[in-house]
Amino acid sequence: IFEQRKRAFQKRRDYLLPEFERLGLHVPVQPDGAFYIYADVSKTGMDSAKFSKCLLEQANIAAVPGLDFGLTHGTQMVRFSYATSLDRLHEAVDRMSRWLRA
């Protein structure tokens, strides 16, 4: 079961990495053995706190500002969990795409 879960997390991560880049959210370090991605949101013109708040309020997607995990790049990084189904991640990317284009 461990290997099955590991493959599921890899599949989710491998789906999100190019999607985030397509959305303009640079991921400087590919996660290895985690269930979250740190993405740089500075190109949006918002800091991590504002981005996370607006994303929740306007697109119904929860993400955590990087400041909650330390000061290094905390104002520009947002943490996104992929500990959910691939279908829900597809939906979240669609919503985030529409929100970022608005």
Tens digits of residue pLDDT in 38-47: 999 999 999 9
Query: What residues are paired with 65 via a beta bridge?
Result: 78
Question: What gap in Å lies between CA 91 and CA 43, rounded to an integer?
Answer: 22
Which segments of the chain have a pLDDT < 50? Answer: none
pLDDT of residue 67: 83
Amino acid 77: pLDDT: 96
Taking alpha carbons only, the member of 1, 89, 73 closest to residue 41 is 73
User: CA 54, CA 35: separation in Å to the nearest integer?
Assistant: 23
pLDDT at 72: 75
Q: Give the pLDDT score at 74.
A: 82
Give the 3-state secondary structure of residue 44: helix
Q: Tokens 């990084």: give the residue.
A: 77
Residue 33 pLDDT:
78
Strands (E) across 1-102 are located at 36-40, 64-65, 77-81
pLDDT at 40: 97
Contact between residue 54 and residue 46 where contact means Cβ atoms under 8 Å apart: yes
Model-level pTM?
A: 0.90
